[in-house]
Every structure is written in C-alpha cells, then in structure tokens.
Amino acid sequence: MTDLYVSLFISNYSPTPIEKVISLVSRTGRDLQRYDTTGYRQVVGCIPYRYKNDGEIEVLLISAQKKGKGMLLPKGGWEIDESIEEAALRETMEEAGVTGHLEETLGKWQYKSKRHNMVHDGFMFPLLVSEQFEQWPESGFRQRKWVCLSEAIDLCQNWWMREALDAFIDRKCL
C-alpha cells in the first residue's frame, strides 16, 4: 500500500519550472570573485528598463545599501562559476528584483571603489524588464524607483553609471 501511495503522490506532483524558481538569498563573500590579470575586480550590472504606454523609456534605479548614499543601477561581482551574462542577471535579480531580456553589453568602465579603494572593471548591459517581483533577496534594505532617462542621469550617484546611461540613450534614442 505504501508503494502505491508514493506512486500516486508523485504522479500528481507538478513542480515549478526551474526557470521560475527565484532565490531569496543573495550570494555573499568574495571567495568566487573574478579578477583580471592586473588584479582589477570584475563587476557586472544592468540598466533595467521598460517602455511606458506612450513609448517613453523608464529606468529602474535602486538605493545604495548605506542610507542616504543616493541611487544607482544594480551591479555586483562577476564570479568564476558563471558567465558574464549570468552574473548580470543574478545581480539584477538580487539587488532590484527584476528579470527580463538581456541585451548586448554597453561597454566597460574602469572606476575606483570608494569603499574598498581598489580598481574595478564595470560591464553594463541593458535589460528589458519582463517581470518584477514583490519580494527579492535585497528587498529588506533596498528601495527601487522607476524614473525617466533624464531623472536617472540626475539621480545616479556614480559617474561611470551615468556614462553607461549615456551609452544606453545613444543606443535606444538616437
């Protein structure tokens, strides 16, 4: 009888497709962090965007982890066990709680981290958002805000992210 019960239970089980499973825990630590041959930390991120009904583009900005430190684009470390595209999607899900269609990279920017006093290579990708989640790994300490392109440039605290936004505007609007 037990074998029959288990068989029926399994046959009625319909698992969630693996691509729909969202982790509510961010990766932490630098054990898997990727560095280039000169020692620069490799960082990837996205410019999450959507089209309003009138065709205007909106960009999703997130708050910095430290209170009062402004708004920025989701980004984080590219780890050795993932492709650059996987890292960009993971970081955007962890920090902004969105996913969608990842487009061709906008470029690479070198910048010096204020917190760790080291040089990073920052790669940015446009991400056409198709899904926004109510709960995401960093929802407990990050805010997010949809803004027009000009407001995104005004609010974004990092010069290299503003340059990435300019590259995005050149691609999408010119």
**Domain 44-173: CATH superfamily, name plus number:** Nucleoside Triphosphate Pyrophosphohydrolase (3.90.79.10)
Task: Please state, in angstroms and rounded to a whole number, the distance separating the CA atoms of residues 24 and 137.
Answer: 4
Whether pTM > 0.85 for this model: the answer is no
Check: CB of residue 160 under 8 Å from CB of residue 83: no
Using only C-alpha atoms, what is the Rg of the chain? 19
- Domain limits of the chain? 44-173
Token digits of residue 152? 């995104």
pLDDT value at residue 174: 78
Convert the pLDDT of each residue in 42-76 to its tens digit.
999 999 999 999 999 999 999 997 666 789 999 99
In the predicted model, what is the mean pLDDT of residues 11-29? 47
Say if residue 75 is exposed, middle or buried (CB neighbours under 10 Å; 0-12, 13-18, 19+): buried
Convert the pLDDT of each residue in 90-135 to its tens digit.
999 999 999 999 999 999 999 998 777 889 999 999 999 999 999 9
* Residue 58 host element (H or E): strand 57-63
pLDDT value at residue 46: 98
